[in-house]
Chain A
Amino acid sequence: MRSVLSRRRFLTGCVGLGAGLLTGCSRWPLSDPAEPRVVVVGGGFAGATVAKYLKILDGGIRVTLVEAQSRYTTCPASNWLFAGMGDMERLSVDYQALRSRYGVEVVADTATALDLSRKRVQLQSGGAQAYDRLVLAPGIDFRWDVIAGYDAAAAERFPHAWKAGPQTLTLLRQVQAMPAGGVVLIAVPADPYRCPPGPYERASMMAFWLKQHKPRAKILILDAKRSFSKQALFEAGWAKHYGYGTPNSLIEWHSLADNPLLELHADSKILASEFGDRFTGDVLNIIPPQTAGSIARRSGLADAGGWCPVRPATAQSTFDEFVHVIGDAANYAPIPKSAFAANSEAKACAFAVVSLLREQPLAEAHWLNTCYSLVTPEHGISVAGVYKPDTGNTINSVSGAGGVSVGNNAEAERAEAEYAQIVYRNLVADSFA
């Protein structure tokens, strides 16, 4: 034990000396147990955080991050654009700090296949990356088989904007361009999906802008659920700011739990439900049901529900003990799919990967989630949860802790709006910088 510890101290020191030494180290043969190899697929909040914290915890591990895009656009804060806060440029981060500050090798490529038996990741460019342990963090993909007529092509015209990027701007322009008394439809899927309070924050941010520029407009939320995250807080905020509950409300929420949306008629911009109800609007923001990123499903690491089951304490896939899955792609229920949770899962995963590689005792996993949402730029609300693994393979939300904002006064609302913005910047820095 003692010798393992001191070796690890030594290796950490070695990396601290700088990138020159690191490059030297990286030429060591793969089999060298002193420099185990971890490959991370996907550089979102989950993948970036795990790559960074693996190097912080044990600089002797060689960490390669495979990410398809050279810049990452954060979904958090992307709803705020609809209220006129910020711009796309400020949602964008790169991987420079992971490289230069922490010694992560960043490979701009797409993982096309996983060879689990040979422990290799196949890359689009033709190369491959061998690993001792793989961390899979590919985020989500969309299901196009639920609403007939709504597929990837249709989503260019009726954007989901559920991966921040060009669609976010398309949707923004559509809302800005719609007629004065126009209608925005927001279709929300059943659980589980990325960012449970996201659709309602988006509606709030759109309403904030519409109230000033098109006060006769309406946002219609068509929800596959019976209730939603932070519902009481959102509804109180909507009543306070947007006339919710009155005939002139800017926002209406309808549960279609028993009457799901089944079809999009693109030409007439009509969404039809099972019982034949037809909904139409000037702007259709259709958020489709989701699954784990396709690389996970194609590799047999997802279950019938479309998400990757894991042993929560170590994030190991239940299908392959050398693969760890974190972030939105993994099933960590009851922890919601959020960037905050992805960051927390990544840290616990980094701990576990180091312990397994170095044959050291595992630390007890602790997860934290705090989801802030803005109702207006000066009215913030939050829901928090603290989670621990129980003795089986399940995760417990620690009772007596967490829950939604309690303040309920203008001072607390303003403070939470400010915290939402500070915490967003800190979360991005903690994950990418």
Chain B
Amino acid sequence: MRRLRGIVCALALFPVPAVRGDLSAQAIAMNCLNCHASGQAAVSRLPELGRISTAELEQALLAFKYDRRNATLMPRLAKAYSDAELAAVAAYLGRH
């Protein structure tokens, strides 16, 4: 719970992204939060985004997209985005 609030507060503190690309990254990243970042990571297998660095996030998202890494859901989702979008989302989530 604490982490979720952390991320939500972070979103609130940066409501106006500097560039359009960042706005788009925020719009995508918000959709990540409905599954991730609940603070339940300790008892579940679902990774908590707030604890992962930008570099790790980007690497994981690209690995899902190109089927270098297995998971039940993420490979299906990551394929929807360009590499640049995934990098921007990782940067956005890593920063907040």
A: residues with CB less than 8 A from B are: 5, 8-9, 12, 16, 53, 56-59, 101, 340, 343-344, 347-348, 351, 354, 360-361, 363-368, 370, 382, 384, 386, 398, 400-403, 405-407, 412, 415-416, 418-419, 422-423, 425-427, 429-431, 433
Residues of B within 8 A of A403 (CB): 76
Interface residues of B in 13-59 (CB under 8 A from A): 13, 15-16, 20, 23-24, 26-28, 30-31, 33-38, 40, 44-46
Binary interface encoding of chain B residues 78-96 relative to chain A, with 1 for a CB under 8 A from any of its CBs, else 0: 1111000000000000000
A7 to chain B: closest CB distance in Å?
Answer: 10
A419 touching B46, Cβ below 8 Å: yes
B72 touching A416, Cβ below 8 Å: yes
Partner of A400, one of B1, B12, B20, B79: B79
B: number of interface residues (CB 8 Å): 35
B1 touching A368, Cβ below 8 Å: no
B36 to chain A: closest CB distance in Å?
Answer: 7
**How far, in angstroms, from A12 to B16 measured CA to CA in the complex?**
10
A368 touching B79, Cβ below 8 Å: no
Q: Please judge, given known A-B contacts A384-B73, A384-B77, whether A422 and B30 are in contact too, CB under 8 Å.
A: no
For the complex, is B63 an interface residue (Cβ under 8 Å from A)?
Answer: no
**How far, in angstroms, from A53 to B8 measured CA to CA in the complex?**
9
B72 touching A9, Cβ below 8 Å: no
For the complex, is B60 an interface residue (Cβ under 8 Å from A)?
Answer: no
Shortest Cβ distance from B89 into A: residue: A366
Q: Please judge, given known A-B contacts A56-B12, A370-B35, A425-B38, whether A363 and B26 are in contact too, CB under 8 Å.
A: yes
5 A-B contacts, Cβ less than 8 Å apart?
A12-B12, A354-B15, A361-B23, A419-B46, A426-B38
Q: Please judge, given known A-B contacts A347-B31, A363-B27, A425-B40, whether A12 and B13 are in contact too, CB under 8 Å.
A: yes
Q: Please judge, given known A-B contacts A367-B31, A407-B72, whether A398 and B13 are in contact too, CB under 8 Å.
A: no
Shortest Cβ distance from B74 into A: residue: A384
A56 touching B11, Cβ below 8 Å: yes
Q: Please judge, given known A-B contacts A361-B23, A418-B44, whether A53 and B34 are in contact too, CB under 8 Å.
A: no
Partner of A427, one of B1, B13, B35: B35
**How far, in angstroms, from A231 to B89 measured CA to CA in the complex?**
33
A55 to chain B: closest CB distance in Å?
Answer: 8
Total A-B residue pairs with C-beta atoms closer than 8 Å? 120
Partner of B34, one of A343, A351, A386, A405: A343
**How far, in angstroms, from A401 to B35 measured CA to CA in the complex?**
18
B68 to chain A: closest CB distance in Å?
Answer: 15
B80 touching A56, Cβ below 8 Å: no
Partner of A57, one of B15, B34, B36: B15
Q: Please judge, given known A-B contacts A384-B77, A426-B36, whether A364 and B24 are in contact too, CB under 8 Å.
A: yes
Residues of B within 8 A of A382 (CB): 72-73
5 shortest interchain CB distances as A-B pairs: A386-B80, A401-B80, A398-B80, A401-B79, A368-B31
Residues of A within 8 A of B46 (CB): 419, 422-423, 426
Given contacts A340-B34, A363-B23, 10 further A-B contacts (CB under 8 A): A12-B15, A16-B12, A58-B15, A101-B5, A384-B77, A400-B80, A402-B76, A415-B45, A422-B45, A423-B34
Q: Please judge, given known A-B contacts A57-B11, A57-B15, whether A364 and B33 are in contact too, CB under 8 Å.
A: no
A56 touching B4, Cβ below 8 Å: no
**How far, in angstroms, from A101 to B12 measured CA to CA in the complex?**
12
Shortest Cβ distance from B4 into A: residue: A429
Residues of B within 8 A of A431 (CB): 34
B44 touching A430, Cβ below 8 Å: no
Residues of A within 8 A of B30 (CB): 53, 347
- Give the one of A12, A57, A363, A415 with max B CB within 10 A: A363
Residues of A within 8 A of B15 (CB): 8-9, 12, 56-58, 354
**How far, in angstroms, from A56 to B24 measured CA to CA in the complex?**
16
A427 to chain B: closest CB distance in Å?
Answer: 5
**How far, in angstroms, from A430 to B36 measured CA to CA in the complex?**
9
B77 touching A401, Cβ below 8 Å: yes
**How far, in angstroms, from A412 to B74 measured CA to CA in the complex?**
13
Shortest Cβ distance from B76 into A: residue: A384
Residues of A within 8 A of B72 (CB): 382, 405, 407, 412, 415-416, 419
B34 to chain A: closest CB distance in Å?
Answer: 5
B72 to chain A: closest CB distance in Å?
Answer: 5
A9 touching B73, Cβ below 8 Å: no
Residues of A within 8 A of B38 (CB): 422, 425-426, 429-430
**How far, in angstroms, from A175 to B1 measured CA to CA in the complex?**
37
Residues of B within 8 A of A57 (CB): 11-12, 15
Residues of B within 8 A of A360 (CB): 16
